[in-house]
Structure 1
Amino acid sequence: MTVPTLYEWAGGSAALERLTERFYQLVVADDVIGPLFANMDPGHPRHVAMWLAEVFGGPDRYTTERGGYPNMLAHHLGKGITEAQRRRWVNLLVDAADEVGLPDDPEFRAAFMGYIEWGTRLALANSQPGATPPPDAPVPHWGWGVAPPYQP
């Protein structure tokens, strides 16, 4: 028996696109995080869905079509994200996941939230003035409870 990827368990690209569409509807209406997305590209929700798909074991479209990690990193550099904004991003994503019916079993949600916490904390750090994150890293691949090794 083959263990499904998080991408497969979530429902594939269609489910992740529903997630990000709803999520960014919530984001632009939010007074804490909305200002960060005031000039958001209309394709941004789809691009984030592509990123999440690749992270969770789906097709590598974000890398092949959008430039992979360096492109994602470029969108965060110099933004000065606050902890309150990071936390709101996480909370709104969880709300959107519930609203669009992403699986709510404890195993999936633990793995999903593990990545969301890890990724948003990196985005927060990478967005600060003077941050010098690695400019060229691979897209992370997240699985059932397995985090990438810590590298200071």
Structure 2
Amino acid sequence: MQNIPTLYEWAGDIQTFETLFTTFYDKVLKDNLLGEVFKNMSSEHVKHVSHFVAEVFGGDKLYTVEDGGSHAAMIGHHIGKMLTEQKRQRWVQLLLQSADEVGLKSDPEFRSAFVGYIEWGTRLAVINSHLTENPMDYDAPMPKWGWGETGGPYILNDNLQ
């Protein structure tokens, strides 16, 4: 049986994710629709998002250990932001454009898994952005995304834990 790489290993390394999200957030800050949402993001925002997605894709636990984050903390950042479907779609569009620009792997299997996660995560972000309290327990596990798993409906199931 062959050793199937994680999405993180297939994508490259942490520099791959940092390059992707640096390019992406440069676009976001200049965007007419999203710029206002992110104009006050911390100087650590790009690093935290890079670490979060890399960890979800099977990389080192940089977000949970180095950054002191958790899945509940990431969900908490979206509470009360009142994100719209239009903003979600623009976020996805700019991320996919950035992925192409930085040369993120473009084979159908990887991109399918990547887009699947981005769709899942951004849709959860919109749902959670309309809440006033974080629905996640602090000790809820980080999602783990692979080559075809999905979660739901609206919960983490055994495929993601």
Q: TM-score, normalised by structure 2?
A: 0.89
Residues 1-152 of structure 1 mapped to structure 2, 5 A cutoff: 1-64=2-65, 65-130=67-132, 133-136=135-138, 137-150=140-153
Q: Deviations over 1:22-72 (max 9, x none)?
A: 000000000111111010111111110000111000111111223211221
Task: Summarize the Cα distance change of 1:36–1:26 in structure 2 as closer, same or farther, 3 Å threshold.
Answer: same
Q: CA RMSD for the aligned pairs?
A: 1.4
Equivalent position amino acid for 1:16 in 2:
F
What 5-or-longer segments of structure 2 have no aligned partner? 156-161
Structure 1, gaps ≥5 residues long: none
Residue range with higher mean Cα deviation, 128-137 or 66-75: 128-137
Q: How many pairs align? A: 152
Q: What letter is aligned with 1:85?
A: K
- Aligned mates of 1:133, 1:43 — CA distance in 2: 25
Q: Which runs of 4+ in 1 moved over 6 A?
A: none
- Calculate percent identity across the aligned residue pairs: 50
Q: Distance in 1 between matches of 2:118 and 2:68?
A: 20
